[in-house]
Amino acid sequence: MTDAAVVGTGPNGLAAAVTLARAGLRVSLHEKADTVGGGLRTTALFDSEIRHDMCSAVHPMAAASAFFRRFDLPARGVQLLQPEVPYAHPLPGGRATAAWRSIAHTAEHLGVDGPRWERLMQPLVSRSTAVVDLVLASQRALPREPVTPLVLASRVLAHATRRSPFTTPEARALLAGVAAHAVGKLPSLASAVVALLLAHTAHSTGWPLPEGGSDRIAEAMVADITSHGGTVHTGHHVRDLAELGTVPLVLLDVGPKEFLALAGERLPARYRRALGRYRYGPGAAKADFLVSSPIPWANPLVGQAGTVHLGGTRADIIRQETATAAGERVPDPFMLVVDPAVTDPSRAAAGKRPVWAYAHVPHGDTRDPVRLIRERIEAYAPGFTDTVIAAQGRSAARFEEYNPNYVGGDIAAGALSLRQSLARPTFRWDSYSTPLPGVYLCSAATPPGPSVHGMCGHLAALSALRRHHGIRTAPDLSPQPGRAQG
């Protein structure tokens, strides 16, 4: 007999299953694809020795979120490798700027804006756990103490306008590149929150890459689920909730569009209309390259970074992201580039290594991104094209084929607007519950939203445990029973 079923095995579905299984429930997982993981999949594309991350490659929140702090990936054999330069940003004319793990080193590199960077980041870094927990909370959670919200809010307001507190192009571009992770119109309150969350973690818990690939995270979660009695069914496309039978508890790692398809007329008309108003954001188009050597960046500093932002100046990034959010194709879209072997040498073999890259494009864009991304990298790394052995692209439109939650290529599973930060996916006191008894949503379309942090699934599972089993204390998630929780 099954106590709970989880549909979808992305990081949130897995986190929900871990939480439920640790609470003593018999859990079954159902995955449409042949492998679990969603955004955590890693596979060989061109060469059996070289594995490519199919969605996420770098994982700041897997080192920082409350779920993963308690789950303790390193204790389970998942090594989170930290680049000394978490991210870099090349600029026109061969210049470049970067963020080091050390705030002081970063400030020294930023010259006259160095003291401003320190004043911005140090108070966040000194209370990093509280900042992360505040941002990655449910919509209705109250702050544990008043100082952290005030510290964060004052900085968000200062960086949510077109007027930057920084004076140099380097500092302005450095933070704007991080803000662009919000994938939407810039600047905005949502992008300022994303920028400060991610930028400060570069100086605290870091921007790590899991040794061997992102699927190592999913493997550790599945191992914990099965060791606590859970079962995993891959290649099982659940098309209707009725297929799950009389399971008393169902958690869905799906977005509003998929939930409407699964539940159909069972949902009240008013709730269906509310889900139908849910807005999806711009898309991501991805290219994977098999290359013969490290990316030949014109500025050697860029080659030290775990993540590279390609966007030019702050003004360029604002133009690119705002136009893309409005549905316009720009010739120079914002991009993220990762050469995993810079941080994890095990990802390379003799004369072969992977390169991972995203371009931000309009929702549903159908262009194959390989040429666009290759030429954009070439502009900052002359000779890159000559290193390419093989390449494969996935347009924004095709991303939904890979993962139905990525509607139109929206890997954030919903626009990060102010409204949808307060009502994700709809206005309900409990954002994870639905009008259907025992059915909960636990995808990135619920609070706190996108990224590999597991908190949507964890919080949805805790809500279900409270309502259906009277369990009000979060179960122990650590590898060793009884271990103190962080």
CATH number, domain of 30, equals 3.50.50.60
Cα separation, 137 vs 203, in Å, equals: 21
| Residue 485 pLDDT | 40
Cα separation, 424 vs 134, in Å, equals: 16
| Residue 355 pLDDT | 98
Cα separation, 42 vs 69, in Å, equals: 23
Model confidence at 481, pLDDT cuts 50, 70, 90, reads low
Q: Over the Cα atoms of the chain, what is R_g?
A: 21
Cα separation, 379 vs 214, in Å, equals: 28
Chain segment 134-183, per-residue pLDDT in tens: 999 986 676 778 899 999 998 998 888 888 999 999 999 999 999 999 99
Is 40 a member of any domain? yes
* Strand 388-394 to 353-361 pairing: unpaired
| Residue 425 pLDDT | 93
Cα separation, 51 vs 61, in Å, equals: 22
Distance of CA 372 to the CA centre of its chain: 23
Chain segment 351-381, per-residue pLDDT in tens: 999 999 999 999 999 999 999 999 999 999 9
Predicted model pTM: 0.95
CB within 8 A of 286, min separation 6: which ones? 55, 356, 357, 358, 359, 369, 393, 394, 399
Q: Which of 17-21, 26-30, 161-165 has the lowest mean pLDDT?
A: 161-165
| pLDDT, average across residues 231-247 | 94
Q: Assess whether pLDDT exceeds 90 at residue 402.
A: no
Whole-angstrom CA distances from 283 to 21, 339, 394 are: 34, 22, 11
Is 199 a member of any domain? no
Whole-angstrom CA distances from 434 to 9, 14, 274, 416 are: 20, 20, 12, 21
Is 146 a member of any domain? no
> What token pair was written down for 373?
């991304």
Whole-angstrom CA distances from 53 to 19, 57, 202, 298 are: 26, 6, 21, 25
| Residue 140 pLDDT | 67
Percent of the chain with pLDDT over 90: 90
Cβ atoms of residues 322 and 100 within 8 Å? no
| Residue 416 pLDDT | 87
Cβ atoms of residues 343 and 318 within 8 Å? no
| Residue 419 pLDDT | 81
| Residue 133 pLDDT | 95
> What token pair was written down for 132?
């992360």
Residues in the chain: 486
Q: Assess whether pLDDT exceeds 80 at residue 248.
A: yes
Model confidence at 28, pLDDT cuts 50, 70, 90, reads very high
Q: Dihedral of CA 101/105/109/112: which sign?
A: positive
Cα separation, 355 vs 377, in Å, equals: 11
| pLDDT, average across residues 32-46 | 95
Is 327 a member of any domain? no
CA 39-333-65 angle, 5° bins:
35
| Residue 233 pLDDT | 97
Q: Which of 45, 41, 44 is nearest to 391 (CA)?
A: 45
Cis preceding linkage at 333, omega within 30: no
Residue spans of alpha helices (H) in 180-332: 189-201, 215-227, 256-263, 269-276, 314-325
Is 95 a member of any domain? no
Q: Assess whether pLDDT exceeds 50 at residue 483.
A: no
| Residue 427 pLDDT | 86
Cβ atoms of residues 177 and 317 within 8 Å? yes
| Residue 480 pLDDT | 72
| pLDDT, average across residues 259-277 | 93
Is 219 a member of any domain? yes
Q: State the distance between the two ends of the chain, measured CA to CA, in whole angstroms.
A: 33
| Residue 158 pLDDT | 86
- Domain of residue 450: give its range: 4-58+211-280+405-469
Q: Where are the strands (E) in 214-352, listed by range?
A: 231-233, 249-252, 283-291, 305-310, 335-338
Is 133 a member of any domain? no
Domain count, the chain: 1
Is 148 a member of any domain? no
